[in-house]
Amino acid sequence: MLMFGRRRLAGLAMAFATLVPFVARADDADQAEKFIGKLLKDLSAVVNDGKPVDAQKAAMRQIVFDAVDVDGVARFCLGRFWRTATPQQQKEYTEIFRNVMVSNITSKVGEYQGVSFAMGKAQARAEEIAVGSIVNRPGNAPNKVDWLVAIVGGKPKVIDVIAEGTSLRLTQRSDYGAFLARNNNDVQALIDALKKQALAAN
């Protein structure tokens, strides 16, 4: 097992439903900081490259899929209902979640023109690393945005974005939770609503 290295082991632990608590260490923080630095550079390059919107969207989609632990975020957002969903529903939900998340992120790509980022410090927490940044958009007050990074499968991945103190995945989870509460906790109803939303967005 030693030849796997510590990071790979930590990654495996994450992959196995975080049964083994993952402890972020100093070199993980370094790695996370470099990872977010590159991600922000890539993102601002795409939104400011002046290419047609469709090309920008495609490029951004690729960046998001590479950088974000989409499946993990999907599971998190379903919360306690992940356990009550059937394997078929889990699969269907994860798939539709990927589509909706990416189309939500890329839908307003034109609005991000002129955006620039200033990197802050990385801070190791119990189970993840928070990397701070300031997002500047022309005509808007600077926004404080923290990127939560975990080592998933040996690689740093974004697991949450915290804008001005509001966590994207927590907000999403309470949206889904409220929807489910009003629809008899029926995961299928959620999947159908997300499908409808994806159709409307395309």
Q: Which of residues 82, 167, 186, 188 is near another protein by CB under 8 A?
A: 167
For residue 199, state whether it binds another protein (rule: CB under 8 A).
no
Smallest gap from residue 117 Cβ to another protein (A): 18
For residue 182, state whether it binds another protein (rule: CB under 8 A).
yes
Say how far apart CA 91 and CA 195 lie, in whole Å. 13
Instruction: Scan residues 103-132 and list those touching another protein (CB under 8 A).
Output: 104, 108, 111
Say how far apart CA 67 and CA 152 lie, in whole Å. 11
Say how far apart CA 9 and CA 23 lie, in whole Å. 11
Can you read off the two tokens belonging to residue 57? 């969207």
Q: Give the residue ranges of DSSP H helices in the chain.
A: 5-15, 26-47, 53-67, 70-78, 81-84, 87-106, 168-181, 187-201
Smallest gap from residue 4 Cβ to another protein (A): 35
Instruction: Scan residues 55-94 and list those touching another protein (CB under 8 A).
Output: 79-80
Q: Which of residues 139, 184, 199, 202 is near another protein by CB under 8 A?
A: 139
For residue 174, state whether it binds another protein (rule: CB under 8 A).
yes
